[in-house]
Amino acid sequence: MTPKQKFEALGNKGLQFHPLVPFETNTDQLFQFDLTSYNPKLTEEIISDTTVFSKWISQELADHDARYGIGGYNEHRTIYARSSYFDGVEEPRRLHLGTDIWGPAGTPIYNFYDAEVHSFQFNDHFGDYGATIILKYNIEGVEFHALYGHLSLNSLSGLQAGQKIPSGREFAAFGIPEENGYWPPHLHFQLIIDMEGKTGDYPGVCQYSKAGHYLENCPDPQFILKDTFGVATS
């Protein structure tokens, strides 16, 4: 089996994972965001200003009585035009490789399974991850990584490569825009099978022409997130 097939087989075993963020499945609501060009509400005026964008996210959550917003895996987004960081000479990066959980700054993040710190970094560019932590997992012999992006800067304090992070441990929090790459507060949660030699960073958005490679290496995390929210997330 290929590494992705091994990962998919793991997802079919019915394993249970600790919730990633606080969520009461019996009472809390989850709103599915559409951040593509097909959403007529998402105007250039909104995405070009972080403060306005943040207010729009908060208002959408309030209008739908939702504790969090979610979405984005394998989503072709135009919002990355707001930052030259995603623009290449030949082809811009627009395909999102993780799942975003939108909510208030300071929202605690819990480890879903025993892991160790692979690497961490403050990716301080406009539109980048900001504070980032990458954890390494081995679940029933299947190794992979999870990238947690757009964190609070304090989340990086005291970390060391190889440090053990047990299941259920609160280890990070959603960051404010000044710490998270100047985005509305949220968590970018991305699974990565092969880090390809990278530390503290890995592309969370790719060129559409390279989708095959990146989607093979960054599988859909919904089988982990369903234990947080009680429903499929993509």
Per-residue pLDDT tens over the stretch 147-170: 999 999 999 999 999 999 999 999
What is the C-alpha to C-alpha distance for residues 76 and 191, in angstroms, rounded to an integer? Answer: 18
Q: How confident is the model at residue 190 (pLDDT cuts 50, 70, 90)?
A: very high
CA 165 to chain centre: 18
Amino acid (one-letter) located at 203: P
Q: Which two tokens stand for residue 94?
A: 């627009």
Q: Which of these ranges, 48-52, 208-212, 216-220, 229-233, has the smallest mean pLDDT?
A: 229-233
pLDDT, average across residues 175-179: 97
Residue 234: inside a domain = no
| The pLDDT of residue 227 is above 70 | yes
Can you tell me the distance from the alpha carbon of 175 to that of 130, in angstroms, rounded to the nearest whole number?
A: 8
Q: How far is CA 225 from the centre of its chain?
A: 11
pLDDT band at 1 (very low <50, low <70, confident <90, very high): confident
Least confident of 3-17, 29-43, 71-85, 139-153: 71-85
In a domain, 117, yes or no: yes
Whether 232 is in a domain gets the answer no
Q: For 83-129, what is each residue's pLDDT tens digit? A: 666 666 577 878 999 999 999 999 999 999 999 999 999 999 898 99
Cβ neighbourhood burial of 26 (10 Å; 0-12, 13-18, 19+)? exposed
Q: Is residue 233 included in any domain, yes or no?
A: no
User: Which one, of 213, 192, 116, lies nearest residue 149 by Cα?
Assistant: 192
Which pTM was predicted? 0.94
Q: What is the CATH number of the domain that holds 63?
A: 2.70.70.10
What is the predicted pLDDT for the residue at 6? Answer: 86
> Domains in the chain: how many in total?
1
Whether 212 maps to a domain, the answer reads yes
- For residue 32, what are the domain limits? 3-227
- 204 located within any domain: yes
The answer as to whether 46 is a domain residue is yes
